Chain A
Amino acid sequence: MARQAARRSRARSDRSMTRRQFLSTASAGVAGAALLPLTAPWTAGAAPAQIRGSSLRILTWSHFVPAYDTAFDKYANDWGVANDVTVRVDHINIDDLPARVAAELSAGAGHDIIQQNGVIQTTLYYQHWVDVSDVTQKLGQDAGGWLPMAENVAAVKGQWYAVPEFYIPQPIMWRAGDLWKQYNLPEPTTWDNLRTAARVGKSKGHPAGFAISHCNDANHNWRAVFYAFGVQEADPTGREVRWDSKALRDAMKFSRALWSEGMTSEVFSWDNVSDNRYLDSGVAIYIHDALSSLRSIQDSNPTLYANCNVGVPGAEPIGSVRRAAVVDPTILAIWKFSKNIPAAKAFLEHYGADVNFSLTASKGYNMPYLKSWYKKPMPSLGSDPKVTILQDWDKVALVFGYPGPATAPAAEVLSTFVLPDMLARYCHSNDLEGSIKWGVGQIKGIYAKYKS
């Protein structure tokens, strides 16, 4: 008994605290509580009480920067822990997203938040997505508004049904450090100069490479050229087709010349990663692709990485009309059938505002739609001289359907690869009018189906 009493007394004296200890602990606690929202950003902005104890399932792609998937999973999980929400993130191949989204709607079950990437179908799905105008309005207000293309991919009739997540820029990656100097090539500020560079490069065993095939790279690479030559897909409402024009003929002639003088027939069979491999092989004088192709050589081929420049003076080369960068947009939407809409909205509001995380964790791959984030230096991009030019991408970035919104028929023109096929036909046959007749016929047919 005496031994037990002595032990209790010793334990009590161990737990006792001096006044100084008490004050310093209390001060630290108060300071910690005050600083917590700053150091742990997921708790910034109190999440609604009703989301506590709920769960959240997110469907997104397998990012081309794999480290981003790991970071995003942790980010979502940390947010869940902080807000007492069980979060699960599923990543699938980008090409499988449309089928998965369609299947979830048919089943009326699946994830709470789904991503659309590249082929955006807001105009098809919006009736089944939660109106998130309140979220996008707040995000826009806090960050100087949205880039105009954000509304083109996320809103229908003025209401926002998705939160624009990020877009993927596709800059020119050119061998400024070695081949450009060796061949004394003109600065690639214009598409004409790039045509010259490709011609010279091909004659020296270093052709350029843009896919002219059934892959998404082909869609946005050639749209960038076509838009630079003044091609318009539809009117600003997105209803009337505007492809058939003198600008289309000019763009087709230029593109065929660029291919025949400066590329090989390899490009007719390329997929979305062929240009990455092509750059990595050391053959390409330039390609036109997302940053992942540069990141893939950063460690494996540091010399090549050092010799590669990203983007050209002015961001993208100028054509006969303008500079145009056609980007791959991504959006996040919430199903109406979701049982966790408040949690989904809270997460989107939190994640949508955290551009710093998105830019940094993706090493500058994920470009923001929010204007104020283009204040230089931008996170990740401003500190890396290789990619500083991307800080000007907001001035040239466009999405498919331009100058109209990314409507369902515009998405079908994209997903059925009409543009690359039209160009491939011209490259093979040298029949300009025949190829345009086929391509414009396909496009008009698609638009007509949506009108009937």
Chain B
Amino acid sequence: MANAELVTGPFVHTRPGAFTRQRLRFGYGMLAPAILYMVVLVGVPFLWSLYLSLSDATVGNSVAQFVGLRNFAAVLADSTVRQALRNTIVFTVIAGIFKAVLGGLLAFLLMQDIRGKKVLRSLLVIPWTLPVAISALAWKWMFDPQFSAINYVATRLHLMSGWPNWLGEPGLAMASVIIVNVWRGFPFAAIVLLAGMSAVPLEILDSAKVDGANFFLRFHYIIVPMIAPILFVGLLFDTVFTLTDISIVFLLTQGGPMNTTEILPTRALEIGIEAGALGRGAAIALLLFPILLPVVYFLLRFLGRREAA
């Protein structure tokens, strides 16, 4: 009764009791590590790169001058950076679609009651768990222009004519880095989807079956809506991971041939670290921010609305 009066009545200043203060302290104490982590490992580097991008800092010059948006103007005037921006979007979108499709198929496969399911699950996540340097080097050998195992097997099986130069031809090079990214990433997508699908009550699916709903109807009207929060969080993670993935391109093509696989992270590394122009390198890296921000905003907003509903 007292609570109801407090809520509906005028705002009353009350001194929080010892119990409330203790609870607040406990709550903030529990939150503190996460906040500290965000501030130190996300906030500070972000603000630092923002500062660098607005300065003429180089690796050898610690006394940087404020240059306003000159670095952004310079990098946007650079045709290679614009090409890298296009490549980044193409790389992320195409790889994302393939990971979603293959991850979904794999998740359904792993849902089935088959023998050796646990072993199969363990084997299928190996690409995701392997260190990227090792798997990328293995792929590099498979794409080697002279000793490609893919070409050797495919030509022997008459699946392919000629001897494609996977990493040397512009279209094929982009396809190759996408293939490796998808190969590495789709087990993660499968695990995320599997976790979501395992939470869908079987009774609902069974009753839909009884009502005559086929697989696609069940998938569209029951499974997807129920696992949407997990789907969106998975999509968000994957988008961020793919947009910022430097290792596969760096190890396979270094952005070549003719910058056709150059993506923003590799360009930022070349300019900011290898060439030493920290200001311009930071500006290139921050070009990802306006791409990521709306994606994250709309996904989180959508999730928030769903939860509220």
Known pairs A449-B280, A452-B70; A416 contacts B165 (CB<8 A): no
> B158-175 vs A: 1/0 string, CB under 8 Å?
000000011111100100
Which B residues between 234 and 270 are near A, CB-CB below 8 angstroms?
253-259, 269-270
Evaluate contact between B274 and A415: CB separation under 8 angstroms. Answer: yes
Cβ contacts under 8 Å, A265 to chain B: 145, 165, 168-169
Which among B61, B165, B276, B280 has the highest number of chain A CB atoms within 10 Å? B276
Residue of A nearest to B143 (CB): A269
Hey, which chain B residues are within 8 Å of A452, CB to CB? 70
Binary contact readout B43-84 vs A (1 if CB under 8 angstroms, 0 otherwise): 000000000000000111110000000100010011110000
Known A128-B60, A416-B80; contact A269-B256, beta-carbon cutoff 8 A: yes
Cα-based distance from A125 to B166 in the complex (angstroms): 38
Q: Which residues of A contact B275 (CB under 8 A)?
A: 408, 411-412, 415-416
Point out the residue from A277, A415, A428 that lies within 8 Å of B270, measured CB to CB: A415
Query: Interface SS of chain A: helix, strand, loop or mixed?
Result: helix
- Given contact pairs A214-B253, A277-B146, A452-B70, A412 touches B168 in the complex (Cβ within 8 A): no
Query: CB of B277 within 8 A of chain A?
Result: yes
Kindly state whether residue A98 has any CB partner on chain B within 8 Å.
yes
Any A CB within 8 A of the CB of B273? yes
Q: Kindly list chain A residues whose C-beta atoms are within 8 Å of the C-beta of B166.
A: 269
B280 with A421: CB separation less than 8 A: no
B271 touches A412 (CB 8 A): yes
Q: How far is the CB of B260 from chain A (nearest CB, A)?
A: 10
Is A303 located at the chain interface by the 8 A CB criterion? no
Query: Contacts of A212 on B, CB cut-off 8 Å?
Result: 257
A210 within 8 A of B: no
Other-chain residue from A99, A274, A428 in contact with B273 (beta carbon distance below 8 A): A99
Write the A97-121 contact mask toward B (1 if CB under 8 angstroms, else 0).
0110110011000000000000101
**Which residues of chain B come closer than 8 Å to A106, judged between CB atoms?**
59
**Given contact pairs A119-B274, A415-B274, A125 touches B79 in the complex (Cβ within 8 A):** no
A408 engages B276 (CB within 8 Å): yes
Contact string against B for A residues 233-249, beta-carbon threshold 8 Å, 1 for contact and 0 otherwise: 00000000000000000
Tell me the minimal C-beta distance from B8 to chain A in angstroms.
58
Nearest Cβ on chain B to A106's Cβ, whole angstroms: 8
| B74 adjacent to A449 (CB under 8 Å) | yes
**Total contacting residues, chain B, CB less than 8 A:** 39
**Bound Cα distance A127, B273 (Å):** 17
Q: Which residues of B contact A416 (CB under 8 A)?
A: 80, 270-271, 275
B277 touches A449 (CB 8 A): yes
> Which chain B residue lies CB-closest to A413?
B275
Check A377 for interface membership: any CB of B closer than 8 A. no
When the two chains form their complex, are residues A268 and B165 in contact, meaning their CB atoms are under 8 A apart? yes
A92 is an interface residue with CB less than 8 A from chain B: no
> In the complex the two chains form, is B78's CB within 8 Å of A424's CB?
no
Q: Report the separation of the CA atoms of residues A321 and B277 in the bound assembly, to the nearest whole angstrom.
A: 35
Nearest B-chain residue to A421, judged by Cβ = B258
The A-B contact count (CB < 8 A) is 119
Selected from A101, A128, A421, the residue in CB contact (under 8 A) with B259 is A421
- The answer to whether B145 and A266 touch across the interface, beta carbons within 8 angstroms, is yes
Pair A269/B253 contact, Cβ less than 8 Å: yes
Residue pair A121, B256 in contact (C-beta under 8 Å)? no
Q: Which residue of B lies closest to A449 (CB)?
A: B74
- By CB atoms of chain B within 10 A, which of A212, A268, A445 has the most? A268
- Complex alpha-carbon distance, A222 and B275, angstroms: 20
Whether B58 and A124, one on each chain, are in contact in the complex, defined by CB atoms closer than 8 angstroms, is yes
B258 touches A105 (CB 8 A): no
Scan residues 132-183 of chain B and give those whose CB is less than 8 A from a CB of chain A: 143, 145-147, 165-170, 173
Q: Does A360 belong to the interface (CB within 8 Å)?
A: no
Task: For the complex, give the distance between the alpha carbons of A200 and B170 in Å.
Answer: 28
Asked if residues A98 and B273 are in contact (CB atoms below 8 Å), the reply is yes
CB contact under 8 A between A281 and B146, given known A121-B276, A415-B270: yes
Decide yes or no whether A64 CB sits under 8 A from chain B. Answer: no
Query: B60, A125: Cβ atoms under 8 Å?
Result: yes
A125 contacts B80, C-beta separation under 8 Å: no
Cβ-neighbour of B168 out of A121, A124, A127, A267 (below 8 A): A267
Give the chain B neighbours of A425 by CB distance below 8 A. 258
A420 / chain B contacts, CB cutoff of 8 Å: 256
Q: A121-B59, A125-B59 are in contact. Are A102 and B273 (CB under 8 A)?
A: yes
A102 cross-chain contacts in B, Cβ below 8 A? 59, 273, 276, 278
**A: number of interface residues (CB 8 Å):** 47
Interface contact B255-A214, CB-CB below 8 Å: yes
Q: Taking the complex as formed, is A369 at the interface, i.e. its CB lies under 8 A from any CB of chain B?
A: no
How far is it, in angstroms, between the C-alpha of A121 and the C-alpha of B277 when the chains are bound? 11
Residues of A237-287 whose CB lies within 8 A of B:
264-271, 274, 277-278, 281, 283
B82 vs chain A, min Cβ distance (A): 12
Asked if A417 is at the interface of the complex by the 8 Å CB criterion, the answer is yes
With A98-B273, A416-B275 as contacts: A266 and B165 at CB distance below 8 Å:
yes
Contacting residue for A124 out of B60, B147, B165, B169, CB 8 A: B60
Q: Hey, which chain B residues are within 8 Å of A99, CB to CB?
A: 269, 273-274
Q: Are B277 and A412 in contact (CB under 8 A)?
A: yes
A438 at the interface (CB under 8 A from B): yes
**A53 → B minimal CB distance (Å):** 31
**Cα separation A408 to B256 with both chains bound (whole Å):** 22
Interface string of A196-238 (1 = CB under 8 A from B): 0000000000000000111100000000000000000000000
Chain B minimum-CB-distance residue to A452: B70
* Residues in A neighbouring B146, C-beta threshold 8 A: 266, 274, 277-278, 281, 283
Question: Which residues of A from 61 to 112 have beta carbons under 8 Å from B?
Answer: 98-99, 101-102, 105-106
Cα–Cα, bound, A367→B166 (Å):
36
User: B254: which of A127, A215, A281, A449 is its contact (CB, 8 Å)?
Assistant: A215
CB distance from A334 to the nearest CB of B (A): 14
CB of A126 closer than 8 Å to a CB of B: yes
Question: How far, in angstroms, from A416 to B262 measured CA to CA in the complex?
Answer: 11
A442 beta carbon closer than 8 Å to chain B: yes
Which residues from A are CB-within-8-Å of B271? 412, 416
Which residues from B are CB-within-8-Å of A441?
79
Knowing A415-B274, A438-B79, A449-B277, the reply to whether A268 touches B60 (Cβ < 8 A) is: no
CA distance A106 to B258 in the complex (A): 32
A417-B256 in contact (CB<8A): yes
- A270 vs B79: C-alpha distance when bound (angstroms): 24
Indicate whether A124 sits within 8 Å of B276 (C-beta atoms), given known contacts A266-B168, A421-B259: yes
**A442 and chain B: residue at smallest CB distance:** B80
In the complex, per-residue mask of B269-309: 1 if CB is within 8 Å of any chain A CB, else 0: 11101111110100000000000000000000000000000
Given A102-B59, A119-B274, 6 more A-B residue pairs with CB atoms under 8 Å apart are A98-B274, A121-B59, A121-B60, A269-B257, A274-B146, A438-B79
Those 9 A-B pairs whose CB atoms lie nearest each other, nearest first: A269-B168, A268-B168, A214-B256, A269-B167, A214-B254, A266-B145, A412-B275, A124-B60, A125-B60
- A selection of 11 A-B contacts at a CB cut-off of 8 Å is A102-B276, A106-B59, A127-B61, A213-B257, A265-B168, A268-B165, A268-B256, A278-B146, A441-B79, A445-B78, A449-B277
